[in-house]
Amino acid sequence: MAEYPQVHGTTRLTTPHGAAVNVDAGMADLIRALWGAGYETLMCCQDAGEAIRGGGTPIQPERWERYAAFYAGFAWLKTPVPDMQRLVTTTADIAKGHGWAPCINITPQGTNTFAHLHFPARQIEAVTALVKRDS
């Protein structure tokens, strides 16, 4: 697996399964809240545009500026599909009109078992509060 530079500062967390992982500092409270509420998380980023611009993703360098501009200011979260459905339900009221983009990739073999969510980074605290409230 290719290694990409870590663009954002990180916080070291221990997963519910006991593994130590580095999580973008801006997402650490949200990830803790999600774990506390029983969600599984796979990956996250506090600002996908910055990560792309910094070479922290598998996107081809000639596309960095275009993709970085599109995702600037958007956090990114990857979870199993049932957890994403739960999160989208929990956050439905604050998502409306703010460009939230949950998706499941489709492959020749079928749909993936995980989903992605891009949402405004400015809403990370609000999402965290809702997850804590509903857990």
Q: What is the pLDDT of residues 62-107, one digit of tens each?
A: 999 999 999 999 999 999 999 999 999 999 999 999 999 999 999 9
Q: What is the per-residue pLDDT for 1?
A: 53
Q: Do the domain assignments include residue 97?
A: yes
Q: What is the per-residue pLDDT for 2?
A: 62
Q: Do the domain assignments include residue 106?
A: yes
Output the CA torsion sign for 38, 129, 98, 60: negative
Whole-structure pTM over 0.85, yes or no? Answer: yes
pLDDT higher than 70, residue 26? yes
Long-range contacts of 44-47 (CB under 8 A, 24+ apart): 44/75, 44/76, 44/77, 44/78, 45/8, 45/75, 45/76, 46/8, 46/75, 46/121, 46/124, 47/8, 47/71, 47/72, 47/73, 47/74, 47/75, 47/121
Section 125-131 average pLDDT: 98
Q: Do the domain assignments include residue 77?
A: yes
Q: How confident is the model at residue 58 (pLDDT cuts 50, 70, 90)?
A: confident
How many structural domains comprise the chain?
1
Q: Do the domain assignments include residue 39?
A: yes
Domain that includes residue 60, residue range? 10-134
Q: How confident is the model at residue 3 (pLDDT cuts 50, 70, 90)?
A: confident
Q: What is the per-residue pLDDT for 5?
A: 83
Q: What is the per-residue pLDDT for 103?
A: 97
